[in-house]
Amino acid sequence: MFKLITADMKVLGHRLWIIPVGLFLFVTTFSFIPYLNQVQSFQYLIFISLIPALLLYELFRENHKNNSEIMVMTMPIDRKKIVYSKYLLLFGFIMIGFVAGLISKELITFFNIGLNNNFVDPMSKDMLFALTFILRVGLFIIPIYHYTRKLNLSFFAGIIGYFLILAGYFELYYEVFGWTWFGDRVISHLSNISIVISIALIIHLVVKYKFKGISKEKIVNGWFIVLAYLTTVTLQLLIKNLIHFDLYLRLKKICGDLAHLYTAEQLEKYHNLINQYNEYLLMVGLSFIVLTLALILIHRKAENKFFQYAVLFVMLPIFMIIFGEYSYDFFTWNFRRFHSYEAYVIVKNLFSYLNLIIGVFISVKVSIYLLKNNRTL
């Protein structure tokens, strides 16, 4: 693998230092120009994020230009190592960006005399987050490229797709994953889910009647993706509500032993919340079970493994978010009661990167499958 990484670095050649140095100089000098040094920290972070992004693009561009991957695949190289080396290189590019950003930050703050300056000293932690954003987008770009072998499409689809999915079809995602039990959004969440199903149904009918050449398996795959998305939605709703189980228990206690301390009106409100919780949990739980069974049924009828990996890949952002942000909420809600704040912060930070680890795992697995199965060579 070291040989592959060395080979790719030789392929990049001068760009390996020209791009980081160029962007470093641009960012650093830009912030010293009077009346132009209105650089806000997020702009600074964007520039530094460009270092790994451009290096990754250039690497893929060189491999893509003359189909040099074909040459690589005729050599005695394990396909897994080809994939691993790309991800390791991406990580290396991110570290280059991080180091460039750190040095630039120190220079700017050292020489900065604070005149007419809106520059906000970006924390190293923020910088690392911006750089890992490139890693997260890269997790989409690399498998898409291995599938399509189209460079610009892969980068475009990876970046836009990542934003679209994160934004959850723009706002739909936040609505669906939002606060459900205490709020009055149950109806809106159900309507959002029904929108997803309606859109899938319309697409199904259009595909079935207008594009008669589409195979049955592709239509089944499409429904699998929709059902997998809804399954993860219900799973997330379950987790989100189970997080507040302690609140539910407190409400039960209020309505039980401590009822004499509250007014009738308050008690009625709490009773309603308890009932809502029970019903909602039951509804979401049953939906999750039904959807999972439907997925298992379709999975059993699958004719080939490709779409399993495709579904995994499509679900990648969902898994990343579920197992990241919400998992530490779920697993650490009790932890923070019995451990120090410092310990809690460490565990919280670990979980916030857990999604990245899972994302890398899924992305690598999908890429290896695509490369080994030569889908578009």
Partner 1 sequence: MNKILEINNVEKSFEGFKLDKINFSLNKGYIMGFIGPNGAGKTTTIRLIMNLLKKNSGDIKIFGMDNVADEVTIKDRIGFVYEESYFYEHLTIKKMKEIISPFYSRWDDEKFDEYCDIFGLLPKKKIKDLSKGTKMKFSLAVALSHHAELLILDEPTSGLDPVFRDKLMDILREEIQDENKSILFSTHITSDLEKIADYITFINDGKIVFSDQKDILLENYKIVKGDTKILSAEIKNQLLGVKENKFGFEALCNVEKHSIFSQFDIVTEKPSLEQMMVYLSNKM
Q: Could you list the residues that contact partner 1 (CB under 8 A)?
A: 3, 6-7, 10-11, 13, 62, 65-68, 70-71, 73-79, 373-374, 377
| Identity of the residue, 70 or 350, whose beta carbon is nearer to partner 1 in the bound complex | 70
Question: Closest separation between CB of residue 13 and partner 1, Å?
Answer: 7
Give phi and psi for 32, each to the nearest 5: -100, -10
CB 108 within 8 A of CB 28: yes
Question: Closest separation between CB of residue 348 and partner 1, Å?
Answer: 43
Place of tokens 């590019």: 93
| Identity of the residue, 62 or 126, whose beta carbon is nearer to partner 1 in the bound complex | 62
Structure tokens at 37: 């040094």
Place of tokens 């190289």: 77
- Distance between CA 1 and CA 310 in Å, rounded? 26
| Identity of the residue, 218 or 339, whose beta carbon is nearer to partner 1 in the bound complex | 218
Contacts 24+ apart (CB under 8 A), 100-109: 100/20, 100/23, 100/24, 100/48, 100/51, 101/44, 101/45, 101/48, 101/127, 101/131, 102/127, 103/24, 104/24, 104/27, 104/28, 104/44, 104/48, 105/44, 107/28, 108/28, 108/31, 108/32
| Identity of the residue, 315 or 371, whose beta carbon is nearer to partner 1 in the bound complex | 371
Question: Closest separation between CB of residue 77 and partner 1, Å?
Answer: 6
Question: Closest separation between CB of residue 214 and partner 1, Å?
Answer: 14
Question: Closest separation between CB of residue 59 and partner 1, Å?
Answer: 11
| Identity of the residue, 7 or 347, whose beta carbon is nearer to partner 1 in the bound complex | 7
Question: Closest separation between CB of residue 377 and partner 1, Å?
Answer: 5
Task: Find all residues with CB under 8 Å of 239, minimum gap 6, and list them.
Answer: 322, 326, 327, 330
| Identity of the residue, 250 or 375, whose beta carbon is nearer to partner 1 in the bound complex | 375
Task: Find all residues with CB under 8 Å of 19, minimum gap 6, and list them.
Answer: 51, 54, 55, 58
**CA quadruple 227, 228, 230, 234: dihedral sign:** positive
| Identity of the residue, 58 or 175, whose beta carbon is nearer to partner 1 in the bound complex | 58
Question: Closest separation between CB of residue 2 and partner 1, Å?
Answer: 9
- Distance between CA 179 and CA 276 in Å, rounded? 13
- Distance between CA 125 and CA 54 in Å, rounded? 22
Question: Closest separation between CB of residue 18 and partner 1, Å?
Answer: 14
CB 104 within 8 A of CB 117: no
Tally: H helices and E strands in the chain = 16, 0
| Identity of the residue, 66 or 116, whose beta carbon is nearer to partner 1 in the bound complex | 66
